[in-house]
Amino acid sequence: MISQSEPSNAAVSGAAPGAEPLLSRAFRDKRLLSIASVLFVIALWQWGAGHVSGFLLPPPADVLDRFLDPKWLSRLMGALGQSLVQLGLGFGLTLLVAVPLGVIIGRSVILTRMFGPVINAVYAIPPVAFVPFLIVWFGLFLEARVALVFLMSVFDVLVLMIAGARDVRGSLVDVGRSFGASHRQRLRLIVLPALLPFFFAALRVGSARAINGMITAELFFAAVNLGAIMKRATQNFDSATVLAVVILVCVLGLIAQSAITLLERRVLHWHVRAA
């Protein structure tokens, strides 16, 4: 999602500062337009919040105030740290289970045909619907939250890894075989590199789902961490605080996506990603 810098464009607009009206320049440099769009909506929101009752839609300045309050911020960051622990445990478990399992199932035609329909059927069940089960099995605390994060991300990763393992072109493996590569070498040198793009796709989709699971778990089981802050603020009709937590979760998601994309660019510089 990060737009690449365009040096030529920047040089052109830098060469004649002020020669062009800002508006038409913004229409040429698309990044300026994006920033303008964000600023415009925030300004509209600030203006609108002044005209609507305060606790319905808090003005952005109020939300910003929350982040600037050091006492609240330290509480928020403490809660975020706790939340990230369960996110890490749950998503780590997902990767540990779903990546090898996906490769094993996807590399075998028989296993794919056998378990593909089963996985699709279970995948069709909304994971939140398992919450009553998780309460019965794991209680209301950390174990249950980790289990929900796992459950919400595991099928997305599994399905993508199976698709990836099936996609590895037989001709590539055949070339390896005709050059006398052993089974192990073919796996390490041909199959695994060919799987990497799918692995990164699985990371991107799975991490978004896992973050979703993290906040869902904190609201649906015993309310803790970020979920507790949200629940308490809801009871006090403090929508600025609720919105601040929503924005934090959103930023967390954006950071995860950009970090994975950045890592993918570094590792997969040989692979051109389809748009």
Burial class (CB in 10 A: 0-12, 13-18, 19+), 124: exposed
10 in contact with another protein (CB under 8 A)? no
Residue from 30, 169, 188, 273 in contact with another protein (CB under 8 A): 30
State which residue, 15 or 274, has the beta carbon closest to another protein.
Answer: 274
Q: What is the rounded radius of gyration, in angstroms, for the C-alpha atoms of the chain?
A: 24
By CB under 8 A, the residues from 177 to 236 that bind another protein are 208, 211-212, 214-216, 219-220, 230-231, 233-234
Question: With CB under 8 A, what is the number of residues at the site for another protein?
Answer: 62
149 is written with which tokens? 């994060």
User: Does 254 contact another protein by CB under 8 A?
Assistant: yes
- Per-residue H/E/C for 42-101: HHHHHHHHHHCCCCCCCCHHHHHHHHHCHHHHHHHHHHHHHHHHHHHHHHHHHHHHHHHH
Binders of another protein in range 49-78 (CB under 8 A): 55-57
Which residue lies nearer to another protein by CB, 85 or 135? 135
Q: Which of 6, 9, 23, 34 binds another protein (CB under 8 A)?
A: 34
What tokens were used for 45? 């929101």
CA-CA distances (angstroms) from residue 235 to 55, 228, 239, 269? 12, 11, 10, 49
| Residues 144-164 as b or e (16 or more Cβ within 10 Å = b) | bbbbbbbbbbbbbbbbbbbeb
Q: Which is nearer to another protein, 89 or 181 (CB)?
A: 89
Toward another protein, which CB reaches closer, 97 or 181?
97
Question: Binding pattern to another protein, positions 136-175, x when CB under 8 A?
Answer: xx--------------------------------------
Window 106-135: residues binding another protein (CB under 8 A):
109-110, 113-118, 120-122, 124-133, 135
Q: 200 with 264: CB under 8 angstroms? A: yes
Least distance to another protein from the beta carbon of 118, Å? 5
Burial of 42 (0-12, 13-18, 19+ CB in 10 A): middle
- Quick one: which H or E segment has residue 223? none
Residue 86 contacts another protein per CB under 8 A: no
Q: How far is the CB of 20 from another protein (least distance, A)?
A: 16
Residues forming the site for another protein (CB under 8 A):
1, 27, 30-31, 33-34, 37-38, 41, 55-57, 109-110, 113-118, 120-122, 124-133, 135-137, 208, 211-212, 214-216, 219-220, 230-231, 233-234, 237, 239, 242-243, 245-246, 249-250, 253-254, 256-257, 274-275
